[in-house]
Amino acid sequence: FFAEDADCVYPDGVFKGKEEIKSYFKRLFEIIPDQKVIESGVKIIAEEDRAVYEHIFEGSYEGMKYQILALCICEFKGDKIQHIRTTFDRLSLAKQVAKGKMAKMAVNSIINQIPDYNLDVFLKSTRNFIKSFIILALFI
């Protein structure tokens, strides 16, 4: 799927070249073998050499289940992916998989610094932002 000189930007790093990207995803699926990508209702939107895809990552990490909304933007070179950028709310992920009292306290101390943190409102506003971002990304 990837061009030889492709790059992949994920919240936890930048991976350059087909082999480095392959190694990253292999490691990811070794750590989270049950991770699935689920349609979020917004299908792939494509124009010329770009595509945007909103989806949900679902899986479990060390027995703790998670589900997070993600956005992926791809640029193609011919029929191969040249650039891919995926983003999601890492704090939401951390909150869902935090295990043990200390880990939960650490995550909650960050969340508690956010005024009026309300996950439902946050997810709704994030979804609206992502939809606006998708439309904007197609015209850039």
Using CB atoms within 10 A of its CB, is residue 52 exposed (0-12), middle (13-18) or buried (19+)? buried
pLDDT at position 114: 64
- What are the distances in angstroms from CA 34 to CA 24, 30, 91? 16, 9, 21
Strand 2-10 to strand 80-88: parallel, antiparallel, or no bridges (unpaired)?
parallel
At 54, the pLDDT band (50, 70, 90 cuts) reads very high
pLDDT of 128 reads 59
The per-residue pLDDT for 140 is 47
Chain segment 61-96, per-residue pLDDT in tens = 888 899 999 999 999 999 999 999 999 988 888 888
Average confidence (pLDDT) over 87-115: 79
Select from 74, 87, 7, 80 the least CA-distant residue to 47.
74
130 C-beta neighbours (distance < 10 Å), count = 19
Per-residue pLDDT, averaged over 93-103, amounts to: 81
The domain that holds 30 is classified in CATH as: 3.10.450.50
| Residue range(s) defining the domain that contains residue 97 | 2-139
Q: How far apart are CA 96 and CA 89, in angstroms?
A: 11
Structural domains of the chain, count: 1
Which residues fall within 8 angstroms of residue 49, CB to CB, at 6 or more apart? 75, 76, 77
